Amino acid sequence: MPSKSERTRQRIIDAANQLFYRKGYNRTSFTDVVEEADVPRGNIYYYFKTKDEILKSVIAHRLETISGMLQEWDRNISEPLDRLERFVRIMYDSTPALLRSGCPMGSLTAELGKDQPELKEDAKGLFDLFQRWLARQFVDMGYRDEARDLSLRLLSRGQGLIIIAQVYQDPGFLERGTQELNRWLEDLARYA
């Protein structure tokens, strides 16, 4: 069982994670995190000296969560096509949040990429984790030489769908787009 200190630290990370997603990293203040986490202001400095330290912990938490999810899919979903379709389903299952705040990875990386390249590099690790996992699925499907390119195409098409659906507040566009992605994946599986 985690100690009280570990639980408090995780509460801060969880609060910051939600705030960075909803408001953006640069628009979230230490005060926002303190209030959202419901911890005394002085206590936050015991765990994190800077907002950048909080962000690095948020990214590490996201990486751990995503890694666990992908490992579970690898264990429980036997076919690479089914695993890839499960990845696509994340967009459909997350439609309300995506329409409200965009992709948590994409919006964070785009925000940091404007003038915080060192932090953007940390956030890029989220994309890297998905890209490598997607590439392995394409290799398993029989696309060894094209695996990296196919994984980047899937990531970019998904990000594009999310951005346009958010801009136009059109959940139907996101649904049709994910259906189209699944047809593309099924065609790849058929011709591998």
> Which tokens hold the place of 169?
């507040």
**Dihedral sign of CA atoms 66, 70, 71, 73 in order:** positive
Residue 110 is encoded by which pair of tokens? 């785009």
Q: Rounded to an integer, what distance in angstroms lies between the CA atom of residue 176 and that of residue 132? A: 26
Return the pLDDT at 43: 87
Scored b (16 or more CB within 10 A) or e, 157-172 reads: bbbebbbebbeeeeee
- Residue type at 21 in one-letter notation: Y
**Among 159, 1, 186, 174, which residue's Cα sits nearest to residue 96?**
174
Predicted TM-score (pTM) of the model is 0.95
pLDDT of residue 42: 86
The per-residue pLDDT string of the chain (192 residues; one tens digit each, 9 = 90 and over) reads: 778 889 999 999 999 999 999 999 999 999 999 999 999 988 899 999 999 999 999 999 999 999 999 999 999 999 999 999 999 999 999 999 999 999 999 999 999 999 999 999 999 999 999 999 999 999 999 999 999 999 999 999 999 999 999 999 999 999 999 999 999 999 999 998
Q: 178 vs 94, 129, 161, 165, 182, CA distance in Å? A: 12, 21, 8, 11, 6
Give the position of tokens 């990429």: 113
C-alpha closest to that of 154 among 183, 115, 113, 119: 183
Cβ neighbours for 4, distance < 8 A, ≥ 6 positions apart: none
